Structure 1
Amino acid sequence: MNKTLIALTLGVGLLACTPQQNFQEAYDSINEEGLKARIETLASDEFLGRMPFTEGETKTINYLKEEFQKLGLKPGNGDSYFQEVPLVELTATVDTQMKITGGNAEINLNYWDDFVALTRRVTDSVRIENSEIIFVGYGTIAPEYDWNDYEGLDVKGKTVMVLINDPGFGSEDKSFFKGNEMTYYGRWTYKYEEAARQGAAGIIIVHETEHASYPFEVVQGGWSGANLYLENPDNNMSRCIIEGWISEESADRMFTNMGMDDYDFYPEAKSREFKSFPMNQQLSVGLKNKIKRSKSNNVVARYEGSERPEETIVYSAHWDHFGVGNPVDGDSIYNGAVDNGTGVAAIIQVAEAFTKLNQPTKRSVVFMAVTAEEQGLLGSAHYSVNPIYEPAKTVANLNVDAIRPIGRVNDFSIVGYGQSELDDYAKRAVEKQGRYITPDPHPESGGFFRSDHFNFASIGIPALYGKGATDSEANGKAWGEEQYKKYTSENYHKPSDEYSEDFNAEGVRLDAQVLFDIGYTLANESTFPKWKEGSEFKAIREQQ
């Protein structure tokens, strides 16, 4: 072949695959068959519910490592695909009853049906005896909203009873907390932290399904059996002795027991005139701990950038679920097909799409399957304190969690919409699919604080958590909302979150393609997306 013909052939070859065509071929490679196959594997009984510290973890992290290796991705933590996360596992045996004395009569609350309890203290046993109970409303100190439920109180050695969510719940007044959008003050994690700061011996949160956004069965499953915590030098002795939940019915009994039969504590507690008060009752309960120390693992793989490899886009999805636990309808394996088999399958498919590019992106892209999200975002929390990649050079975090496989939905919901310029990247990618962006349709559930993007945001990294919502193209919004409620009430954090051949993964594919599009765009730019004015994370980024 002469030189002219060779040149012509090479020229045609280059023209045949423009950067846009190269992108489109990779984008189109994300398919429903691959997603469903990976979800089915991750949610199979063989993986034993993917609980950290178990055989299920070993199977899961090795499967993920092998998937990333097969794609040709490099180890993401030096020469390893793993980042060790030191954890302590506490398995509590709780008293069968919580005794409430004082008032008009003694009340015995039954474990599991009426209350659940645990301790973060790494010790063989704990007990609180005849601890005075103080009703502290929402248990919130929020100076920016001129709110302090603990004002004038000394709760040292006492037990506080608090409501879930924050005082803005149900309000359209965005200046009152954030109205119906939950702030961090509404999260159970904050309430436990604040009670400990105030020196309380115990804290019990009153569960109510609307305020919590999930039924009491979710609390029962999450606050029983083995629970994991990050290793702490003080063995968590600074935390309350007992942390627990009680049912709304149990709280009603306690108010009635002090002669407040018709006390409507929700509207009372959100009034600016509300003052916390003693309930003239005492609480006694204890538990024994089985203690196990070990290490779990984040799984990290890296796609190398060609020009600025030190600048990184991080995809995240938690690989863990609840393992083998209390049986529900005869099934004890909490498979976690939707939560979060869908998210892990999505980032593997996105990783595969990047490897199909003929020209590498200018920046690097990291795929991180994190551990112990279900135990309080622990894997990503550990990463935020021990980052592998410099936060100041981490361009963005794109998080994937629990995409419901109900087919194409036209709305793509961003949790924490308005926080960062990543919203604009998502809008462009979504509109290319003929879809549209919507804020979180359930802001009262506090989704921004309930998945791993929160820990990336907490160290200043712009983070996006978005997914298809409820506007089903085939069946309409009302049907989509019904599916959301059905999943939350019947399958969320239960053994029934299982893979089915009936899964319609079209929506999962579309969301994964959106995330690939955003990551590809970011990975070829030289600018960094910013937090928007009013975001609590803006100042953190600007200090880096």
Structure 2
Amino acid sequence: MKVSGFIIFYFCIILTGTGLAQTFKPNKNVEQALQTIDPKNIEAHIRYLADDRLLGRLPGTSGYQIAMDYVVNQFKTAGVEPAGENGSFLQQVRLRKAFTNKGARFALSDANGKEEALRNGEDFILYPHFENAQVTLQAPLAFVGYGISAPELNYNDYAGLDVKGKVVVIRRGAPRSFPSSVAASSMSLNTILNTALKHGAIGVIISSPSNYLRELNGVNSVRFPDGKIAASGSYVSDKIKLLSLFNRKCFNQLLQNSGLDTSQTYTSLSAGKTASADLPNQIKVSYQNTYQDLDSYNIIGKITGSDAKLKNEYVLHTAHLDHMGISTPVKGDSIYNGAHDNASGVACLLEISKMYTQLKVKPKRSILIALVTGEEMGLLGSSYLAIKPIVPSKNLIANINTDMPTLIAPLLSVVALGAEHSSLYNPVKEAATYLNLAVEADPEPEQNRFVRSDQYSFVRQGIPALHIKYGNKTADGANNLNKIVQQWRETYYHKPQDDINGTFDFNAGKVYTQLNFLISYQVAQNSTRPTWNPDRYFSKNAAVSK
């Protein structure tokens, strides 16, 4: 209830603080475009992209190439302009999968110099280093609670502690008082690593929530043309030499042997009271890394705006084109078709691109439509596009992401993930009101959905972004769509059963497409570019990113 109350509170601030002038009323030009959406076209896109012959659209495969060709052909047919590299629709995305050798050595010594060798795969696992094939490290330890530095929320685990040249030890989590999206961002590996790097740490050890450690079958990243790493969920800089996960028992034992009462410490942290301390231990680590590199592509189209000046600013729609390829068989099927995840999102964007090209008078700003790669590998295609945009970064003013809209029931209400942090909530509310949709707070804050899809790549670069998901409202008045979706996930999510033969409501896809179009259209028409809400976590971090 605290989370929902917080979000509703800030929605009120957004509405009263910006002073909405009047209800949005689309002109005839826009109304005609809205009526061109046909649920049968959405179904046709999904049916094609989720066909078995695309083999699950894994980046670097022939199936992904077929999906790319389809999108490019749809863009050309609709009259969308190419916005990729060298006059094409494509942006090259260089992917790297890294592996750590099973013979990695990890020793922990106490204050008396007594050394204990830890067991790889049982006591700990190591994330690979993406740039150094061989890593050797010896360093002291420091416990830094959750590893969060958020002075704007009056919380800083690093306050009063010098961790330069040390490996920081972190219990992953966030204080109870943190809003769900802020907590999710604070707990992301990328945020944890960047915060540690900012304070001079050279490594990070994190507690696993269980005593069982799942083996890492390679970790993914995306590289710049010079080979340097552009982005990864588990790597931020060559200066961070170590990222390791300890099982819960081993982690707790480390703190207890250093004189910390884990029960008291964890209770304090949850209550928002820091409990950081230097530890008397040292570590010695040695491990090797190997790499597999491949190329994939983002597909990017453009609709040029009508205003002589504002057409040089861009509103970006994104949806990921990739899925998981061929993997572990489930009920005799091994092709992970990804019909909902995310052929449905791609279908919506293809229809949005047609709506924009059919407008007789284009919006003032330009529109970019990007179908990105590597989302299932860790938001890699969108991360690269956000870091290395195909337009000047200062001119990329907003991102509206579409990922698995879950079209299984009539769309009667929506959740605008991330909108509470910026002025983007206004066009969401206006568009939803026009379509007779309710806007609700996130019914599943524990899912951390705000940081789990491509919009978060743009948030990290300081660009206001949101992701529209289903709300809870149902036609029968039970208003429990989240429970229905939870049941659906058990059968379909990230399984071969997510194919065209599953549950679909294509008319919901029509409404969803209209909503996302109306949001971006308003942003593109508004003379004022979107802004982060002042004195908030993401506005502070956006300033740092810039």
Which bracket does the TM-score occupy, shorter chain normalised? 0.7 to 0.9
**What is residue 299 of structure 2 aligned with on the other side?**
299
The letter for the 2-side match of 1:267 is T
- Judge conservation of contact 2:181–2:445 (CA < 8 Å) in 1: yes
TM-superposed deviation, 1:463: 2.7
The letter for the 2-side match of 1:346 is C
Question: Aligned to 1:313, what secondary structure does the other structure show?
Answer: strand
Q: Which moved more, 1:21-30 or 1:323-332?
A: 323-332
**What is residue 366 of structure 2 aligned with on the other side?**
364
Equivalent of residue 52 in structure 1, options 29, 44, 59: 59
- Judge conservation of contact 1:182–1:444 (CA < 8 Å) in 2: no
The letter for the 2-side match of 1:123 is N
**What is residue 320 of structure 1 aligned with on the other side?**
322
Equivalent of residue 450 in structure 1, options 449, 452, 455: 452
1:66 aligns with 2:73: yes
**What is residue 22 of structure 2 aligned with on the other side?**
none
TM-superposed deviation, 1:82: 0.8
**What is residue 465 of structure 2 aligned with on the other side?**
463
What pairs with 1:486-501 in structure 2 (closer than 5 Å)?
486=487, 492-493=493-494, 497-501=498-502
Q: TM-score, normalised by structure 2?
A: 0.77
- Aligned counterparts of 1:282 and 1:109: Cα–Cα separation in 2: 17
TM-superposed deviation, 1:88: 3.3
CA change 1:68–1:272 in 2 (3 A) is closer
State the identity as a percent: 29
Equivalent of residue 174 in structure 2, options 160, 163, 166: 166
**What is residue 438 of structure 1 aligned with on the other side?**
440
1:80 aligns with 2:88: yes
Question: Aligned to 2:193, what secondary structure does the other structure show?
Answer: helix
CA deviations on 1:46-72 (whole Å, 9 max, x unpaired) are 334433344444333222212212222
The letter for the 1-side match of 2:404 is A
- Aligned counterparts of 1:202 and 1:527: Cα–Cα separation in 2: 42
Equivalent of residue 120 in structure 1, options 90, 106, 129: 129
CA deviations on 1:339-389 (whole Å, 9 max, x unpaired) are 332222211121122334355445432211122334443333333333323
- Judge conservation of contact 2:105–2:286 (CA < 8 Å) in 1: no
The letter for the 2-side match of 1:382 is Y
CA change 1:310–1:260 in 2 (3 A) is closer
Equivalent of residue 229 in structure 1, options 204, 222, 232: 222
CA change 1:248–1:500 in 2 (3 A) is farther
Question: Aligned to 1:402, what secondary structure does the other structure show?
Answer: coil
Question: Aligned to 1:314, what secondary structure does the other structure show?
Answer: strand
Q: TM-score, normalised by structure 1?
A: 0.77
TM-superposed deviation, 1:191: 1.0
CA change 1:70–1:120 in 2 (3 A) is farther
CA change 1:73–1:422 in 2 (3 A) is same
Equivalent of residue 404 in structure 1, options 403, 406, 419: 406
- Aligned counterparts of 1:55 and 1:462: Cα–Cα separation in 2: 35
Question: Aligned to 1:440, what secondary structure does the other structure show?
Answer: coil
**What is residue 347 of structure 1 aligned with on the other side?**
349
- Aligned counterparts of 1:125 and 1:379: Cα–Cα separation in 2: 27
TM-superposed deviation, 1:110: 6.4
- Aligned counterparts of 2:206 and 2:141: Cα–Cα separation in 1: 12
- Judge conservation of contact 1:391–1:459 (CA < 8 Å) in 2: no
- Aligned counterparts of 2:541 and 2:261: Cα–Cα separation in 1: 48
CA change 1:277–1:380 in 2 (3 A) is same
TM-superposed deviation, 1:320: 2.8
- Aligned counterparts of 1:412 and 1:420: Cα–Cα separation in 2: 17
TM-superposed deviation, 1:139: 1.2
Q: Which moved more, 1:261-270 or 1:463-472?
A: 261-270
TM-superposed deviation, 1:163: 2.6
What pairs with 1:134-213 in structure 2 (closer than 5 Å)?
134-151=142-159, 153=161, 155=163, 159-167=167-175, 170-171=176-177, 177-178=178-179, 181-182=182-183, 184-208=185-209
TM-superposed deviation, 1:315: 1.1
**What is residue 505 of structure 2 aligned with on the other side?**
504
Question: Aligned to 1:379, what secondary structure does the other structure show?
Answer: helix
**What is residue 5 of structure 1 aligned with on the other side?**
none
- Judge conservation of contact 1:42–1:337 (CA < 8 Å) in 2: yes
CA change 1:160–1:224 in 2 (3 A) is farther
Equivalent of residue 44 in structure 2, options 37, 48, 62: 37
> Matched residue pairs, number?
508
Question: Aligned to 1:263, what secondary structure does the other structure show?
Answer: helix
- Aligned counterparts of 1:108 and 1:327: Cα–Cα separation in 2: 34
TM-superposed deviation, 1:107: 8.6
Cα RMSD, aligned residues only: 4.2
**What is residue 3 of structure 1 aligned with on the other side?**
none
CA change 1:260–1:369 in 2 (3 A) is same
CA deviations on 1:206-231 (whole Å, 9 max, x unpaired) are 3449xxxxxx99x959x533512333
Query: Which segments of 5 or more consecutive residues in structure 2 lack a partner in the other structure?
Result: 1-25, 230-235
TM-superposed deviation, 1:81: 0.3
**What is residue 89 of structure 1 aligned with on the other side?**
97
CA deviations on 1:306-339 (whole Å, 9 max, x unpaired) are 4444343321112233444566777655444333
Question: Aligned to 1:477, what secondary structure does the other structure show?
Answer: coil
- Aligned counterparts of 1:262 and 1:537: Cα–Cα separation in 2: 34
- Aligned counterparts of 2:184 and 2:444: Cα–Cα separation in 1: 13
**What is residue 275 of structure 2 aligned with on the other side?**
275
- Aligned counterparts of 2:326 and 2:109: Cα–Cα separation in 1: 36
- Aligned counterparts of 2:488 and 2:107: Cα–Cα separation in 1: 35
CA change 1:179–1:40 in 2 (3 A) is closer
- Aligned counterparts of 1:482 and 1:99: Cα–Cα separation in 2: 46
**What is residue 518 of structure 2 aligned with on the other side?**
517
- Judge conservation of contact 2:181–2:418 (CA < 8 Å) in 1: no
The letter for the 2-side match of 1:225 is G
TM-superposed deviation, 1:515: 0.8
TM-superposed deviation, 1:431: 1.8
- Aligned counterparts of 1:97 and 1:405: Cα–Cα separation in 2: 48
- Aligned counterparts of 1:336 and 1:62: Cα–Cα separation in 2: 17
Query: Which segments of 5 or more consecutive residues in structure 1 lack a partner in the other structure?
Result: 1-18, 172-176, 210-215
Q: Which moved more, 1:74-83 or 1:156-165?
A: 156-165
- Aligned counterparts of 2:542 and 2:146: Cα–Cα separation in 1: 28
- Judge conservation of contact 2:93–2:222 (CA < 8 Å) in 1: no
